[in-house]
Amino acid sequence: MLYAYTHPSKITTSTEWIEWVFRLRRGDRRHALELVEGWDTLRIIIAGTVPWLISCIIGIAYAIRTHDVQSAFTVAGFILTSATVLLALLAVISGIESSGRASFNS
């Protein structure tokens, strides 16, 4: 889209969105496009389920191997908590990057 906006003579098309972008180009005004992403339910479900499944599998395997269920699920709980903290940190970092780009481009 940026190429079409900056080089309108090189683009020959009859699509409406290209013509709309060309109509926006004026010397006295500036316009910007804002692309907004929404929540992806499948990614959220996967991000929540994978650490839970891994911690359950490790807890069960540890309990079978050591015959100590309490210690096994203490370890599994630690793994689940650690994974949850990492996911939360990734979400915070992603939010910081998104807000930084938005303020830079505006």
Q: Are residues 68 and 81 in the same domain?
A: yes
Range of the domain at 105: 38-106
Q: Are residues 18 and 55 in the same domain?
A: no
Say if residue 75 is exposed, middle or buried (CB neighbours under 10 Å; 0-12, 13-18, 19+).
middle
Q: Are residues 3 and 29 in the same domain?
A: yes
Q: Are residues 70 and 98 in the same domain?
A: yes
What per-residue confidence (pLDDT) applies to 53? Answer: 95
What per-residue confidence (pLDDT) applies to 12? Answer: 67
What per-residue confidence (pLDDT) applies to 79? Answer: 94
DSSP string, 12-66: ----HHHHHHHHH--SS------------HHHHHHHHHHHHHHHHHHHHHHHHHH
What does the alpha-carbon distance between residue 93 and residue 96 come to, in Å, rounded to a whole number?
Answer: 5
Q: Are residues 51 and 77 in the same domain?
A: yes
Closest C-alpha among 86, 67, 87, 63 to residue 75: 63
Q: Which token pair is 20?
A: 């709309």
**How do residues 36-95 score in pLDDT, each as one tens digit?**
667 778 888 888 899 999 999 999 999 999 999 999 999 999 999 999 899 888 888 877
Q: Are residues 56 and 95 in the same domain?
A: yes
Determine the angle formed by the axes of helices 69-105 and 41-66, rounding to 10 degrees.
160
pTM: 0.54
Q: Which token pair is 77?
A: 């709980």
- Find the mean pLDDT for residues 22-26: 72
* Structural domains counted in the chain: 2
